[in-house]
Amino acid sequence: MGFFNRRAAPADVNTRTATGTHEKKPGLFARKNQAHTTSNGVASWNTRPTFGQWIKGAALDIVTMAVMGAIGLGVYMAKPAPSRSFPINFSDGEIVYPQFAYPMRNEIVPIYAAALLAFFIPFLVFLIVQIRARSFWDVNNATIGLLYSLISAAVFQVFIKWLIGGLRPHFLAVCKPVIPQSLIPHGNIANGYRSIMFDRSICTGDEKEINDSLESMPSGHTTAAFAGFVYLYLYLNAKLKVFSNYHPAMWKLIAIYAPILGACLIGGALTIDEYHNWYDILAGAVIGTVMAISAYRMTYASVWDFRFNHIPLVRHAPFIYGAGSNTLDGFHSAVFTRKAGWGGHDGSAWGGAPGDAADGPRGTMAQAAGAMGSAAHGAANGRGTHGGVVGTGDHTTDHQGHHSIDRRPVGGSRMGEHVV
């Protein structure tokens, strides 16, 4: 039979490879009752709170953001703390460090533009995703987590700039050093071995530009870009299920890495306009990436585990990890893709993927410790009780110790083997 000959379709094993099942959902900001339930009759936490409930839960975060923003701005405006020594030229007039003698040029991407792009582009994507997700908590957590990432990364890097800093590539052009020859023999200005080191007292340029040129490391542009765009990368990966349990289309791979490309371009532009050294950019990328990963994990159930990384965490109840269906928390549809059943009640995966969970029912449900209790927990481990019978692997034993028929896997589906 030819390679491209059409074969008969195999028997349906409930893979839901097309779109799965979906229910009609109300709008993102439609009022819902907190007692709203899923189609399975289980309480859902994916409901919009009242403004008073939201502000009560978010008040501490809002205050913290305001305080950290004020601290960061104050440190940013302060003069650099360290008093650095630097060489100018050797006795024969040769410049010691020509890498700090580049001319000062205009920034290709100003710092305010980098910060605005790092916030508004991800925020716009969050809103676009809501065309299908339609979840208040998703857009809330995504935006709050983005602010976590951007603000904490900004404060982190301005403290390093202020207390450590470094010389920008255009430092000497901004400093415009003038060395009084009459003072050099007396050691009043020159210092170090053979008196070739100086401090900023010999600079004659603009004081504000000199202060800025002494605070090169880490790059604030790159920190903001990676804090925002790496966060967006993680969000898109979760919503599109790129690294998941099905074969996605190539455009999704391009989509999730487009933000990383944008962050690299913003950072790389700083080497063209001679505003930063390569190690300043690397340091900013590391800080921004660490903060983005940390902020995403604070607001979503997982970073990489595809079973949970699209589920926003709520403040009033813990998310219970496990290997069961994802229809018990109301966030089963908080994704953008509709392939392989994602977005429907049948779109979750069972155990087997590396990540946070090993067993137990999934979802922030009030019945976790009650109705489902030990039966669901035991079933996820291959053990459980039902009608007074205890199952252990390949056979069952009742409480009187009598053996019954063997239990063996038959058939198969994407949810795993059925045991009979």
pLDDT tens per residue across span 160-211: 999 998 899 999 899 888 876 655 544 446 777 767 788 888 888 888 999 9
**For the ranges 135-149, 166-180, 249-263, which has the lowest average pLDDT?**
166-180
The closest of 356, 358, 361 to 327, measured between CA atoms, is 361
pTM of the model: 0.75
Domain boundary among 299, 325, 354: 299
Amino acid present at 2 = G
User: Which of 343, 240, 362, 326 has its CA nearest to residue 20?
Assistant: 343
Report yes or no on 9 lying in a domain.
no
- Quote the CA–CA distance of 156 and 118 in Å, as a whole number: 17
314: in domain: no
Is 329 inside any structural domain? Answer: no
Task: Report how far apart, in Å, the C-alpha atoms of 391 and of each of 111, 348, 377 are.
Answer: 63, 25, 13
Q: Let me know if residue 138 belongs to a domain.
A: yes
What's the pLDDT band for 44 if we cut at 50, 70, 90? low
Least confident among 168-182, 213-227, 257-271, 396-410: 396-410
- Where is the domain boundary, 299, 329, 354? 299
Helix spans in 45-196 (H) = 51-77, 111-133, 136-163, 171-175
| 324 neighbors 349 (Cβ within 8 angstroms) | no
Residues 390 and 291 in one domain: no
Q: Is the pLDDT of residue 406 over 50?
A: no
CA–CA separation, 253 and 249 (whole Å): 8
Section 232-244 average pLDDT: 95
Do residues 289 and 407 share a domain? no
CB atoms within 10 A of CB 274: 19
Mean pLDDT of 327-339: 77
240 and 118 in a common domain: yes
**Mean pLDDT, residues 309-326:** 75
Percent of the chain with pLDDT over 70: 66
Total domain count, the chain: 2
Residue 22 lies in a domain: no
For residue 63, count other CB atoms closer than 10 A to its CB. Answer: 10
**pLDDT tens, 375-392?**
333 333 343 334 444 444
- Per-residue pLDDT band for 22 (boundaries 50, 70, 90) equals very low
More confident residue, 10 or 289: 289
The answer to whether residues 103 and 220 belong to one domain is: yes
Upstream peptide bond of 218 is cis (omega within 30 degrees of 0):
yes
Are both 356 and 230 inside the same structural domain?
no
Shared-domain flag, residues 288 and 384: no
Same domain, 121 and 265: yes
Say yes or no: 115 and 195 in one domain: yes
Verify that 240 and 370 share a domain, yes or no.
no
Q: Are residues 234 and 86 in the same domain?
A: yes
The verdict on residue 26 lying in a domain is no
Mean residue pLDDT of the chain comes to: 76
Inform me whether the pLDDT recorded for 121 exceeds 60: yes
Whether residue 157 lies inside any domain: the answer is yes
User: Which band of pLDDT confidence, cut at 50, 70 and 90, is reported for residue 69?
Assistant: very high
**Residue 129 scores a pLDDT above 50:** yes
C-alpha to C-alpha distance for 307 and 301, rounded to whole angstroms: 9
Element spanning 392, H or E: strand 389-392
The residues that bridge with 86 in the sheet, in sequence order, are 198
- Provide mean pLDDT across the span 5-26: 46
Tell me, what's the pLDDT at 322? 63
One domain for residues 225 and 162: yes
Residue 102 above 60 pLDDT?
yes
Q: Are residues 345 and 212 in the same domain?
A: no
CA distances for 380 relative to 183, 319, 372, 386, angstroms: 81, 17, 11, 14
Q: How confident is the model at residue 417 (pLDDT cuts 50, 70, 90)?
A: very low
DSSP code for 222: H
Task: Give the closest residue to 170 by CA, choosing from 232, 98, 112, 226.
Answer: 98
Domain assignment present for 135 = yes
In which domain, by residue range, is 221 found? 78-299
Q: Which of the listed residues 277, 299, 321 is the one where a domain comes to its end?
A: 299
> 409-413 and 383-386 as β-strands: parallel, antiparallel, unpaired?
unpaired
Separation in Å, CA 121 to CA 107, 125, 142, 388, 400: 21, 6, 12, 57, 64
